[in-house]
Structure 1
Amino acid sequence: MFQTEDTYKHQGMRKGLVNLLREKEVASEEVLSAIGKIPRHMFFDSVFHNNFAYEDLAFPIGAGQTISQPSTVAFQSTLLSIKKGDKILEIGTGSGYQTAVLLEMGAKVYSIERQRELFNTTKKVLQRLSYRANLYFGDGFEGKPTFAPFDKIIVTCGAPFIPPKLVEQLVVGGKMVIPVGEGKTQVMKLIEKLDNGDLNEESFGNFSFVPMLNDRQY
């Protein structure tokens, strides 16, 4: 049963989380402001998580997936340099928490989830919290060419390589944040599409994500 109350206690813990992330220097003030508005505990289906929802921890959310720890969400969001009105493709809707951060920052979000059970649940959670994203069940490797190009792309699962179709759907000058690597850890990459079609690539350390799935892996 998902929670519906955002108490003073929750708000206090959320403020504590924002202060912790500020101390860790993983996020811009714009990202911290968004995180400070989002009731993370409402993205869990158990009150058991009440005491942990605002700690910098990842948790399982069903279907073999996890809700990323807040510092990872904050770091990826900061790398994207999100501006109000940005058209963003998210690969891996997951719990919807990262989606909510993007929306709070004024982005227009198109989000794809590969797990049907999770897609159905998260759609209801975001609707209940009045977050309006364009949600799709499908293969993240394919992106969403119907609505391309995108100003930014964020991948919230571990990709074995940089999917060419996602690069194609990025505007010139656009940015993609993606954890790349096979196995238990990936390297966080920031990809920028240059005027001549080449890619500028930067690496930002090791992270651990659930694997990115396509139709053949499902």
Structure 2
Amino acid sequence: MEFAKERAELVARLKVHGISEKVLNSMLNVPRHLFVPAVHISSAYVDTPLNIGYGQTISAPHMVAIMCNLLDLQEGHKVLEIGAGSGYNAAVMAEVIGNTGTVYSTERIPELVKSSKSNLKAAGYRNVKVNLSDGSIGLPEHAPYDRICVTASAPSIPEPLVQQLRSGGRMVIPVGEMFQSLYLVMKKSDGTVVSKEWGGVVFVPLIGRHGFHFESKPYRHH
């Protein structure tokens, strides 16, 4: 029960960020200690990012809360997440959208696909589907999405993700290399796209075709 007390105290502290009750309640229900490596379990409810191996991190709870808040998630939404990591961010979003919604998550590191699936199963989330794939190109087979959440910083806003966003949809994405900013991207009903800068952030880089460090394959385009 100690974890429940720590979690409640953490969520109470997140209120200073202007987070909606819906997101706060969802974070109250997600057992973050099930999504952190055993070596960091004592820090599970400290508001800080934690190393999950393979050069990746689980985001600080306040950043998860802010991104979910900006997305304005609703029950029944179909959400695309780029960067499953440990599965925690997907779990929070799954909690908000409920059993009638689905989170499709991409992850490029096979070991994290396996561990995130295991973490999500242990925490009881059945409405998250984790895929081993290049997140920078999205997941076109399930598009369009009501919301897209990108948990790695891109050199620019990837066009495939904009295309896979439903009219009236929202995307949050960090952009930049040395200096990163979080952007809220909104696609209006007429298809025009508006982006607003939220503020400075620090995320791991988005690796892939529309991200950083992509090595082109030796095939010919027709």
1:24-50 deviation per Cα after TM superposition (whole angstroms, max 9, x unaligned): 22421100001001111111221x423
1:82-97 superposed matches below 5 A: 82-97=73-88
Q: Which moved more, 1:49-58 or 1:131-140?
A: 49-58
Q: Indicate the residue corresponding to 2:196 in structure 1.
A: 202
Q: Which moved more, 1:111-120 or 1:75-84?
A: 111-120
Q: Indicate the residue corresponding to 1:99 in structure 2.
A: 90
Q: Indicate the residue corresponding to 1:167 in structure 2.
A: 162
Q: Indicate the residue corresponding to 2:24 in structure 1.
A: 32
**CA distance 1:121–1:50, change in 2 (3 Å):** closer
Q: Which moved more, 1:129-138 or 1:73-82?
A: 129-138
Find the aligned partners of 1:41 and 1:26 in 2 and give their Cα distance. 24
Opposite residue 155 of structure 2, the aligned amino acid is P
Counterpart secondary structure, 2:29: coil
Q: Indicate the residue corresponding to 2:7 in structure 1.
A: 14
* TM-fit CA distance, 1:84: 0.2
Q: Does 1:119 align with 2:113?
A: yes
* TM-fit CA distance, 1:97: 0.4
Find the aligned partners of 1:127 and 1:86 in 2 and give their Cα distance. 20
1:46-70 deviation per Cα after TM superposition (whole angstroms, max 9, x unaligned): 1x42331111100110110000000
8 Å contact kept, 1:149–1:171: yes
Q: Indicate the residue corresponding to 2:44 in structure 1.
A: 53
- Residue ranges of structure 1 left out of the alignment (5+ in a row): 1-7
Counterpart secondary structure, 2:25: helix
TM-score, normalised relative to structure 1: 0.92
1:152-191 superposed matches below 5 A: 152-183=147-178, 185-191=179-185
Q: Indicate the residue corresponding to 1:44 in structure 2.
A: 36
Counterpart secondary structure, 1:178: strand
Q: Which moved more, 1:37-46 or 1:72-81?
A: 37-46
Q: Indicate the residue corresponding to 1:3 in structure 2.
A: none
Count of aligned pairs: 208
Counterpart secondary structure, 1:197: coil
Identity %: 42
8 Å contact kept, 1:26–1:74: no
**CA distance 1:207–1:26, change in 2 (3 Å):** farther
Find the aligned partners of 1:53 and 1:217 in 2 and give their Cα distance. 33
Find the aligned partners of 2:40 and 2:4 in 1 and give their Cα distance. 15
CA RMSD of aligned residues (A): 1.3
Counterpart secondary structure, 1:36: helix
